[in-house]
Copies of this chain bind each other. A is one copy, B any other.
Amino acid sequence: MVRLAPPGHGRIEFARTLEVDVGGGEFNVGYACARLGLRAGFISKLPDNPVARIILNHARAVGMDVSHVALEKFDGVGRKGRVGLNFTEVGTGVRASVTMYDRGHSSISQMKPEEMDWNAIFGKEGAAWLHTGGILASLSDNSAAVTKAALQAARAAGTVTSYDLNFRSKLWSSEKAIAVTKEIIPHVQVLIGNEEDFQKVLGFEVEGAKADLRELPVVAYKRMVERVVEAFPHIQAVGTTLREVKSGLVNNWGAILWHDGKFHEARQFPDLEIEDRVGGGDGFSSGIAYGFLKGMKPEDVVNFGAAHGALLQTTRGDTSQVGLEEVMHVMKGGSARIQR
Binding site for B on A (CB under 8 A): 4, 7-20, 49-51, 53-54, 57-58, 60-63, 75-79, 82-83, 85, 87, 91-105, 109, 139, 168, 170-171, 212-214, 245-250, 269, 271-275, 277-278, 307, 310-311, 313-316, 321-322, 326, 330, 333-340
What number of copies of this chain does the assembly contain?
Answer: 6
Chain B residue at minimum C-beta to C-beta distance from A59 = B61
Chain B residue at minimum C-beta to C-beta distance from A214 = B335
B97 and A338 form a contact (CB under 8 A) = yes
A273 and B245 form a contact (CB under 8 A) = no
B57 and A13 form a contact (CB under 8 A) = yes
Contacts of A330 in B (CB 8 A): 94-95
B99 and A338 form a contact (CB under 8 A) = yes
Contacts of A101 in B (CB 8 A): 76-77, 340
CA distance A20 to B16 in the complex (A): 5
Q: Known contacts A18-B17, A339-B96; is A76 also within 8 Å of B104 by CB?
A: yes
Sort A-B residue pairs by CB-CB distance and give the 5 closest, nearest first.
A78-B104, A76-B101, A61-B61, A12-B50, A95-B314
- 5 contacting pairs across A/B (C-beta < 8 A): A14-B321, A17-B20, A94-B269, A248-B314, A248-B336
CA distance A13 to B338 in the complex (A): 17
Assuming A11-B50, A60-B63, what are 12 further A-B pairs, CB within 8 angstroms?
A11-B315, A15-B20, A15-B54, A58-B61, A61-B61, A77-B101, A77-B103, A93-B274, A93-B314, A99-B338, A105-B105, A246-B271
Chain B residue at minimum C-beta to C-beta distance from A317 = B14
Chain B residue at minimum C-beta to C-beta distance from A98 = B339
Contacts of A104 in B (CB 8 A): 75-79, 82, 105
Q: Which of B51, B57, B274 sits near A102, CB closer than 8 Å? A: B51
